[in-house]
Amino acid sequence: MTNQGYVASGAGLPGAKSAQALRELPRPLVAVMSSGFFGFFAHAGFLQALSDLGVEPDAFSRA
């Protein structure tokens, strides 16, 4: 999935390039997460990975 020429998942990009691409995504950047039985653990890991990359979403949403 792409968003204005950016790879949303960072797939296929080397680590440093994908982190830079995530930081350069158009704003606002909204993290939308749906819940499931193990959703909390996946969401916590996803948010931790964004934090480790220095990417801070402007808003959060859940489904």
Buried b (16+ CB within 10 A) or exposed e, 8-31: eebeeeeeeebbebbeeeeeeeeb
Tell me the residue length of the chain: 63
8-63: pLDDT as tens digits? 454 544 456 777 888 888 888 888 888 777 777 788 888 898 888 888 889 988 87
Enclosing domain of residue 43:
2-62
pLDDT recorded at residue 15: 58
Count CA atoms closer than 13 A to 41's CA, side-chain side.
2
Domain count, the chain: 1
